[in-house]
Structures are given as structure tokens and as C-alpha cells.
Amino acid sequence: MPVNFGSDERFLHSLTVSANVSLPCPDREHLSQIIIATSVAVGFADAVISFNTVTRRRAAAAVT
């Protein structure tokens, strides 16, 4: 049974909202950590969307 994260748009919106939290002016070390964390979040979102797309296609193929 696939995990349901809700709609892709809602999931991406929640990532966008959490990424837009105002931060104090970061120094170089913190900035690199923010960039890495953002990259990981985007990669995770892409994986979830791909998983949901494949799951939907398989479900549609199983029905027909």
C-alpha cells in the first residue's frame, strides 16, 4: 500500500512555506548548511512526486 502524502501541489506548498521562514543573516557556514538542507528537501520532494506518479500509472494500468 503506497504512502499518501496528499496532492503533490500541497506537499510542495508545505515545503515552500517551511523554506520561506525568515532567518537571521547567515554566515558562510550556515549558508552552506541551508543550501545542503534545501537540496535534500528538493530531492525528497522530487522522489515523492516521482513515486506518486509511478504509483498512479501502475494503478491505472491495473484497472484497465
pLDDT recorded at residue 15: 59
Tens-place pLDDT, residues 3-28: 555 556 666 666 565 555 555 666 77
Tens-place pLDDT, residues 17-58: 555 555 566 677 777 888 888 899 998 988 888 888 888 888
Which amino acid is it at 36? I
How many CA atoms are closer than 13 Å to the CA of 34, on its beta-carbon side? 14
φ, ψ dihedrals at 14, nearest 5°:
-65, -35
pLDDT recorded at residue 62: 86
DSSP string, 28-64: HHHHHHHHHHHHHHHHHHHHHHHHHHHHHHHHHHHH-
Q: Which residues contact 41 (CB under 8 A, 6 or more apart)?
A: 15, 18, 19
Domain limits, the chain: 27-64
